[in-house]
Structure 1
Amino acid sequence: MAKEKYITDAQGKRVAVVLDIKEYQNLLEQLEELDAIRAYDNAMLLDEEEIPFEDAIAEIEKHRQLISKFKLGNIKMI
């Protein structure tokens, strides 16, 4: 991981972090993977009815699209 760069306010308080785009994308991918692991763990804890594979894939794709919108929607030009 590269050394973080901070943006500070007039008092020197850290208010933002600047990341290399590759590091940012890597963090988002890791977050997505962790989310999938947690969902799997939660599903194993719950004794719920199984869903068909195709439905599960459709749900995952829906989640990925939401993540993609989040990724693009939070990029701000400075």
Structure 2
Amino acid sequence: MEGVRYVTDEAGKRVAVVLDLKTHGELWKDMEDVLVSHSRKRERSIPLEEARAELIRRGKLDG
């Protein structure tokens, strides 16, 4: 596949991939979004209105 190179270990097993971002930049952005989403699954979340109120209270957002 053009724009894709594989890194292999001593046994020839693929252990990593190098993507040409000019060719596959959009694909990488999509993959990165998925990875970030998965990494944040266990983080505490708060409702939008609660976050908005906190930002207003801190002076970071106009109310």
- Bigger relative contact order, structure 1 or 2 (CA pairs below 8 A, ≥6 apart): 2
| TM-score of the pair, normalised by structure 1 | 0.33
Task: Say which structure is richer in strand.
Answer: 2
| TM-score of the pair, normalised by structure 2 | 0.37
Task: Say which structure is richer in helix.
Answer: 1
